[in-house]
Amino acid sequence: MVVQYIKDTRREDVDLRMYVTVTEAAYKKIMDTIPNEAKYIKLFYDNEGCGCVMSGIIDLVAVSEKDERDVDIESSVLNFIADRTKLVFMDDKLTVDWHKVGGTFQLKSPSQFYNPNMKLHVRV
């Protein structure tokens, strides 16, 4: 029996298990909203005022640079990041969509809605 060892090329700054799909409508709205200085779209897990770290909500935040705990997340079109300590609160496959009637973004996975009324904040 031959055993092959494959070098682990994973990087700490990339979460290879997660993937964010951005719908065409969401992509257009994001690009119409963010300034040129925004390099990343952060999946920001906000639990301030919720009383418990388990009771947070995710928003989109356009930023120009990463924080020290941020990791890259694979995406269909945009550069997504998230705090590595908050990834446990998100499924592996996410979709960002634009809800035209409500005028908000939606973050969902095949199993749940994370935030059906998500805002895009700009912090550049």
pLDDT tens digits for range 85-117: 999 889 999 999 999 998 999 999 999 998 889
| pLDDT for 9 beyond 70 | no
In degrees and rounded to multiples of 5, residue 30 shows phi and psi of: -60, -50
pTM of the predicted model, to two decimals?
Answer: 0.81
Q: Which of 1-5, 66-70, 93-97, 98-102 has the lowest mean pLDDT?
A: 1-5
Q: What is the pLDDT of residue 55?
A: 61
Please tell me the distance from the alpha carbon of residue 10 to that of residue 32, in angstroms, as a whole number.
Answer: 34
Domains of the chain: 15-123 (2.60.300.12)
pLDDT tens-digit map of 48-62: 655 555 567 899 999
